[in-house]
Amino acid sequence: MLKAIVAHDPNRVIGNNLDIPWHIREDFLHFKETTTGHTIVYGSKTFTSIGKALPNRKNIVLNFDKNFDAPGCEIVTSIEEIVERYKDSEDVVFICGGASIYKQFLPYCEELIISEVKKEYEGNVFFPEYKDDFVCYKEDEREEFIIKYYKKK
Ligand SMILES: NC(=O)c1ccc[n+]([C@@H]2O[C@H](COP(=O)([O-])OP(=O)(O)OC[C@H]3O[C@@H](n4cnc5c(N)ncnc54)[C@H](OP(=O)(O)O)[C@@H]3O)[C@@H](O)[C@H]2O)c1
């Protein structure tokens, strides 16, 4: 099963150039806790901004070049390969960004785990519109953000 996990601000900002505009430790811990032990999928720009494979998870990086250098990661060159491999799997596979990856995978995601950051931030990278296709079924409020769990309608 594919699930997207993301933090966005009230305007759906997720990034500013290559960076995430906020540093919220509690959200980082939520991401770590949720994804540890699972497979995570992200784009090459997000990989470059993180700088290394994330520990205790199977890391898959999407890149059009099979020889892209990402130590500790599997390189996959098409989203179809991931969808075919995992869409009917009982294992949860987390789609972790960035914008281009979220946009391409959204039609194949059963669930979204969204950290809705309360404050507005400057940014030029956005999460796609999703509220027409997904419905929120659980909320977990924290100091600086609310974790909202969405299911496909
Ligand atoms: N707030 C959050 O939760 C969050 C999470 C993650 C990322 N972000 C932010 O998102 C931004 C990065 O997003 P982005 O859209 O610019 O980059 P990205 O999605 O991380 O990476 C884009 C790259 O992925 C590869 N790619 C994309 N589609 C592909 C496909 N169908 N098949 C194979 N490879 C494919 C391409 O690599 P090549 O061109 O190199 O082949 C493409 O240039 C940053 O600001 C980052 O901080 C935010």
Condensed to tens digits (0 to 9), the pLDDT of residues 41-67 reads: 999 999 999 999 999 999 999 999 999
Q: Does the pLDDT value for residue 80 go beyond 90? A: yes
Atom of ligand 1 nearest to the CA of 14: 1
Average pLDDT score over the chain: 97
User: Hey, what are 41's tokens?
Assistant: 């999928």
For the domain covering 2-152, report its CATH number.
Answer: 3.40.430.10
- Give the whole-angstrom CA distance, residue 71 versus residue 148: 33
In angstroms, the first-to-last Cα distance of the chain is 16
DSSP assignment, residue 142?
A: -
Contact in structure between 41 and 62 (CB atoms under 8 Å): yes
Question: Pick from 131, 137, 105, 144: which is nearest to 22 by CA?
Answer: 144
- Count the Cβ atoms, other than its own, within 10 Å of residue 26: 13
Residue ranges lining ligand 1, Cβ < 6 Å: 6-7, 14-15, 18-20, 42-46, 49, 62-65, 77-79, 96-101, 104, 125
- Give the whole-angstrom CA distance, residue 90 versus residue 75: 22
pLDDT, tens digit, 9 for 90 and up, residues 125-150 = 999 999 999 999 999 999 999 999 99
Tell me the DSSP string of 104-134: HHGGG-SEEEEEEESS----SEEPPP-TTTE
User: Hey, what are 109's tokens?
Assistant: 């995601």
Amino acid at 52: K
- Count the Cβ atoms, other than its own, within 10 Å of residue 72: 12
- Percentage, residues of the chain above pLDDT 70: 100
CA–centroid distance, 87 to ligand 1, in Å, is 20
